[in-house]
A and B are shown apart, each in its own frame.
Chain A
């Protein structure tokens, strides 16, 4: 690892820390954002996420090696962490740090996009079911029951079988399409409670159509649980991608994702634990950070605490 790489990592760390500090300073001005930062874990979570996103964006700068290159398949396999290979090398003699940095792009990308698809779909279905009630509610919610009852991994295996060599976009969409059931139930429950609220009836009395009522009056008031479920959704999608890649049906090798790095390192887990430990740690860090941030968002947006 060159001086330039270390420097880039340091810059990323400092930028992440400063970013969080700046947000905290601004937050003091507003009650709502003060609540967001009430717990120290939220700041840590936000900092860690910012750092990992920066690393993903600046992967070419922070990574000393080509993540897919097998440096020396004879002499450089399963090397322990050192100054040259800060996180060691994997059984195919690739640099684990470089792969972790590039893998962040893939894993965080799938996590964010997959969760976006899932939450958008879940919100839409939940809002329609909860607002219109009657038969459409029954139909959609029985569909959700079926979706929740089917083991997701089998649906994904089926999709993979049908779609030889899943491209990135297809993977994101497939994951998104199978992850929205929980969100839709949550949103439906919120909408059911909100649709009879006085201000919703008042909006209808003003002549607002259903689209306007749903998107302007109902959903903004359900923002807290939706955002929280999106944050937690990213973590879930990340874990799902990891398990898919571990099963060998996620991101196609040699491209790195945190999931398939664990899969690649698994055979040597006793002799060279670093090639599974570090991507695993990255996944765990992201999921925990997202949980912490989601807690902060929930505190900040909880209307019961708004004066």
Chain B
């Protein structure tokens, strides 16, 4: 099966104020998204997840940001980075749609939710206002909003956060896109609402047969909803694996740390594990492996040379890779921690 969305060597850099430096927010990121699957992108704040997703639709604010030449974002064989503005607009919202983190601020306060859901249908399918309104009602019903005929004329401030996120999903799915990019779709919501929204996404994904790029910092979300996972750290992909493989055999010390930091209901009560330190500034990534200052196993080789993504063999399915020298020298893992 060929990939629907192929990202290769994506580099998105930001020129900082007064030209003092370049923030390498996304640095040589590659991954594939196959039809119908859910690919999770995980990492803590500031590791480049959101910039990656914005880069795909070329929504990175320019200036100060820019996607470097040599990067490839191929959708159905076409490089999105080479499209003209009208060609790109025909893809946005139509083939690839996006939902954002903050349902509170991602809706236009001066228009009704019906108007906003209808917008993509009017843009891409040239529906009449009346047909678009009917479509908006249909979409509201699809995303499980009660009394859609009434709610269609509501303004965003009249809806709760969970409702607004449902509206955002309805907006994104009006044109039945092939790819949905969900950038932390549940971060701003209550846990119970989170579960509802994620279930909704799962259901819609099955019904519409789309691929979902699920961006999150919540490993619990990934465990329940992603087929494969890409772990990002400091603008780099540090590990890719199927969800099962990742949770059973985390290989990169960063993934290990993330997993150890998840509270578990079946574990003895103890202080939660935390990865020491924080993500360094994007203008000044450490030399060598970018994780080495926070890594419990780091040795001189990690400081001297950055590892490539190394395939982990040994029956771990295809495509389990980690950017870590431990893969080549597994004996060093013993005796630490």
A residues contacting B by CB (< 8 A) are 133-134, 196-199, 201-209, 212, 216-217, 220-221, 223, 303, 306-307
B294 within 8 A of A: no
Interface-centre pick from A202, A208, A306 (highest chain B CB count, 10 A): A202
Asked, given contacts A201-B100, A204-B59, A306-B157, whether A209 binds B108 with beta carbons under 8 Å apart, the answer is: no
| A202 in contact with B171 (CB, 8 Å) | yes
Nearest 6 CB-CB pairs, A to B?
A206-B93, A207-B93, A207-B92, A198-B106, A198-B105, A205-B98
Which residues of B, 60-108, contact A by the 8 Å Cβ criterion? 61, 63, 85-86, 89-94, 97-98, 100-102, 105-108
| A221 in contact with B105 (CB, 8 Å) | no
Question: From residue A107, how far is it (CB to closest CB) to chain B in Å?
Answer: 34
| B91 in contact with A207 (CB, 8 Å) | yes
Besides the contacts A199-B106, A217-B108, what 12 more A-B pairs have beta carbons closer than 8 Å?
A201-B106, A203-B108, A203-B119, A205-B92, A205-B97, A206-B92, A206-B97, A206-B119, A208-B89, A220-B110, A220-B111, A223-B110
| B94 in contact with A221 (CB, 8 Å) | no
CA A212 – CA B59 in complex, angstroms?
A: 16
Complex interface: chain A residues within 8 A of B57 (CB): 204-205
| B93 in contact with A205 (CB, 8 Å) | yes
B135 within 8 A of A: no
Complex interface: chain B residues within 8 A of A206 (CB): 92-93, 97, 119-120, 123, 171-172
CA A196 – CA B120 in complex, angstroms?
A: 20
CA A208 – CA B59 in complex, angstroms?
A: 12
| A196 in contact with B93 (CB, 8 Å) | no
| A196 in contact with B61 (CB, 8 Å) | yes
Considering only CB atoms, which chain A residue lies closest to B96 in the complex? A205
B168 within 8 A of A: yes
CA A305 – CA B85 in complex, angstroms?
A: 37
Which residues of B, 105-126, contact A by the 8 Å Cβ criterion? 105-111, 119-120, 123-124
Question: From residue B51, how far is it (CB to closest CB) to chain A in Å?
Answer: 13
CA A202 – CA B168 in complex, angstroms?
A: 9
Asked, given contacts A134-B63, A198-B100, A202-B168, whether A207 binds B109 with beta carbons under 8 Å apart, the answer is: no
Please name 15 pairs of A and B residues whose Cβ atoms are closer than 8 Å in the assembled complex, sorted by A. Answer: A133-B63, A198-B105, A198-B106, A199-B105, A199-B109, A204-B92, A206-B172, A207-B89, A207-B93, A207-B94, A207-B124, A216-B119, A217-B108, A220-B111, A223-B110
Considering only CB atoms, which chain A residue lies closest to B115 in the complex? A216
| B109 in contact with A221 (CB, 8 Å) | yes
CA A208 – CA B91 in complex, angstroms?
A: 11
Complex interface: chain B residues within 8 A of A201 (CB): 54, 59, 100, 106
Question: From residue B11, how far is it (CB to closest CB) to chain A in Å?
Answer: 21
| A202 in contact with B100 (CB, 8 Å) | yes
CA A206 – CA B101 in complex, angstroms?
A: 15
Question: From residue A196, how far is it (CB to closest CB) to chain B in Å?
Answer: 6
| B100 in contact with A209 (CB, 8 Å) | no
Complex interface: chain B residues within 8 A of A202 (CB): 98, 100, 106-107, 168, 171
Question: From residue B171, how far is it (CB to closest CB) to chain A in Å?
Answer: 7
CA A216 – CA B120 in complex, angstroms?
A: 13
Which residues of B, 213-227, contact A by the 8 Å Cβ criterion? none
Number of interface residues of B (CB under 8 A): 33
Residue in B63, B89, B102, B109 whose CB lies within 8 Å of A303? B109
Asked, given contacts A201-B100, A221-B108, whether A207 binds B123 with beta carbons under 8 Å apart, the answer is: yes
In the complex, per-residue mask of B39-59: 1 if CB is within 8 Å of any chain A CB, else 0: 000000000000000100101
CA A217 – CA B111 in complex, angstroms?
A: 9
Question: From residue B237, how far is it (CB to closest CB) to chain A in Å?
Answer: 23
Complex interface: chain A residues within 8 A of B63 (CB): 133-134
Considering only CB atoms, which chain B residue lies closest to A301 in the complex? B110
Complex interface: chain B residues within 8 A of A204 (CB): 57, 59, 92
CA A221 – CA B155 in complex, angstroms?
A: 14
Complex interface: chain A residues within 8 A of B109 (CB): 199, 221, 303, 306
Question: From residue B107, how far is it (CB to closest CB) to chain A in Å?
Answer: 6
Complex interface: chain A residues within 8 A of B120 (CB): 206-207
| B123 in contact with A198 (CB, 8 Å) | no
Complex interface: chain A residues within 8 A of B124 (CB): 207
| B157 in contact with A205 (CB, 8 Å) | no
Considering only CB atoms, which chain A residue lies closest to B117 in the complex? A206
Complex interface: chain A residues within 8 A of B86 (CB): 209
Considering only CB atoms, which chain B residue lies closest to A196 in the complex? B61
Complex interface: chain A residues within 8 A of B157 (CB): 306-307
Considering only CB atoms, which chain B residue lies closest to A218 in the complex? B108
CA A53 – CA B172 in complex, angstroms?
A: 48
Complex interface: chain A residues within 8 A of B61 (CB): 196
Complex interface: chain A residues within 8 A of B123 (CB): 206-208, 212
CA A196 – CA B97 in complex, angstroms?
A: 18
Complex interface: chain B residues within 8 A of A223 (CB): 110
In the complex, per-residue mask of B173-210: 1 if CB is within 8 Å of any chain A CB, else 0: 00000000000000000000000000000000000000
CA A178 – CA B123 in complex, angstroms?
A: 37
Considering only CB atoms, which chain B residue lies closest to A220 in the complex? B110
CA A220 – CA B115 in complex, angstroms?
A: 14
Complex interface: chain B residues within 8 A of A306 (CB): 109, 157
Complex interface: chain B residues within 8 A of A203 (CB): 108, 119
Question: From residue B141, how far is it (CB to closest CB) to chain A in Å?
Answer: 20
